[in-house]
Structure 1
């Protein structure tokens, strides 16, 4: 790069809590892109904080207020950077995606483009899910100071969080590895947590027939339409897990509404 070319700043922000199983791979991949890493930790006791410090990350300790508020806080810590890479502690970047993101620090990008998506692929029980959940484009690279975070529900705090920008969004080549679940038990526990959040914040009514119909449709979508059967036994287990998670969500929504009437 010539001396006349500008170097654009980039910071990675990562919320953590007891993620020692996956945080090392996450940090290894991020260090190939930037040395500026901000970790917002909500009470780790398993060595996560010490490892992040060893990698040179700035660690901010903050009690857990919910994913939407925590993600927004993460963005605010890096608002003065040209670009912000938003990752979870169980996500890591492959070499192609690393190079795509590094290009943003070395090239002038169309000012109308405020954010980039990339594809996330699940690593499950020791192998890739090439079909289940695919494609899963996630908006995770944004210009500093332009993005907000929103969930579902009246107050926008429930369900999966989502980054929102007003400008154009482009797509980056490469893959983000999502090593979310250590085993099937871990997968179902995560669906229980998500179901509880959906029950608390999702304003849509949950009808009794949905308890049986929606899980079946969820399985058919992943295993048949997305061709999860091509992922072999992992694809079947993952698709069945999605169906179980959907049923858990419907049951928890009914339970929550029954106890709050």
Structure 2
């Protein structure tokens, strides 16, 4: 008889995710607990989660890192798998995950995240493998406090699982661009708070370096036109972040200059 695995909580943060959440919940049905931390949905997200047996609690928005850490701490079990509402666990990833938990060789595991963009799952460039550390023992790992581009931090060795986490946001290109604009604003604020500064070199070269790395070296061109558009937006995001930093730097300098 195979060894039992430790109890597992799947934690999901949501806000008006009813159109995406069902597939996520279905893929997470193998967990011992599904916890949904909602920040004020009005579209039926909560009713949908409860219909699938999830435990739902409300928490006003804290920022991505703090919100996810709140969810981890509210889970019933120490082993947690963190998902977004527009993600789902592939059958191969589920099998790999459950097998790894029967005799964990470490306290944290990463796996590939496969992103769907303009109707195509990207398999190269910036869109894949998009390594994501999402399965961990919360006693030895936690989410960072970053408001955006949050990550799991741990001193444990990081194991790698086979199988993909499928990311299918089903959002329009317009909403995707709106989200990227918001993310670059947050990223600019974080960089400035960390003491970084925008320079001509960073503004001019960061998009070019990103294009060479992901479109050429990582062969994003193999994903066709969706792959090109994806990296083009990514390059503009690099430019936009540093441009927003420069704008803030100039505003701060002007404020200091005009102060009595």
TM over 0.5: yes
- Residue 171 of structure 2 corresponds to which residue in structure 1? 182
What is the CA-CA distance between 1:22 and the residue it aligns to? 1.9
What is the CA-CA distance between 1:158 and the residue it aligns to? 4.2
Instruction: Return the match for 1:91 from 81, 87, 92.
Output: 87
**Mapped contact 1:131–1:231 kept (Cα < 8 A):** yes
- Residue 123 of structure 1 corresponds to which residue in structure 2? 116
CA distance in 1, matches of 2:139, 2:59: 20
Please tell me the root mean square deviation across aligned C-alpha atoms, in Å: 1.8
**Mapped contact 1:119–1:175 kept (Cα < 8 A):** yes
**Mapped contact 1:38–1:57 kept (Cα < 8 A):** yes
- Residue 194 of structure 1 corresponds to which residue in structure 2? 183
What is the CA-CA distance between 1:7 and the residue it aligns to? 4.3
- Residue 257 of structure 2 corresponds to which residue in structure 1? none
CA distance in 2, matches of 1:199, 1:225: 27
**1:73 and 2:73 are equivalent in the alignment:** no
What secondary structure, in the 3-state scheme, does the structure 1 residue paired with 2:123 have?
coil
Unmatched segments (≥5 aa) in structure 1: 151-155
**Mapped contact 1:26–1:91 kept (Cα < 8 A):** yes
CA distance in 2, matches of 1:94, 1:207: 43
- Residue 139 of structure 1 corresponds to which residue in structure 2? 133
CA distance in 2, matches of 1:165, 1:186: 33
CA distance in 2, matches of 1:62, 1:258: 36
Q: TM-score, normalised by structure 1?
A: 0.88
What is the CA-CA distance between 1:124 and the residue it aligns to? 0.8
Count the aligned residue pairs: 249
**Mapped contact 2:116–2:167 kept (Cα < 8 A):** yes
Instruction: Return the match for 1:52 from 40, 49, 52.
Output: 49
**1:237 and 2:229 are equivalent in the alignment:** yes
CA distance in 2, matches of 1:185, 1:222: 23
Deviations 1:147-186 (A, max 9, x none): 1222xxxxx5344111112222211110011224623222
What secondary structure, in the 3-state scheme, does the structure 2 residue paired with 1:21 have?
helix
What secondary structure, in the 3-state scheme, does the structure 2 residue paired with 1:161 have?
coil
Structure 1 residues 7 and 211: alpha-carbon distance in aligned structure 2, compared to 1, 3 A threshold: closer
**1:109 and 2:98 are equivalent in the alignment:** no
- Residue 149 of structure 1 corresponds to which residue in structure 2? 143
Deviations 1:58-109 (A, max 9, x none): 111111011111111011012x52411011112111110011122245x222
- Residue 211 of structure 1 corresponds to which residue in structure 2? 203
Structure 1 residues 88 and 44: alpha-carbon distance in aligned structure 2, compared to 1, 3 A threshold: same
Deviations 1:226-258 (A, max 9, x none): 111111111111111111222221222222333
> 1:22-33 maps to which residues of 2 (within 5 A)?
22-31=20-29, 33=30
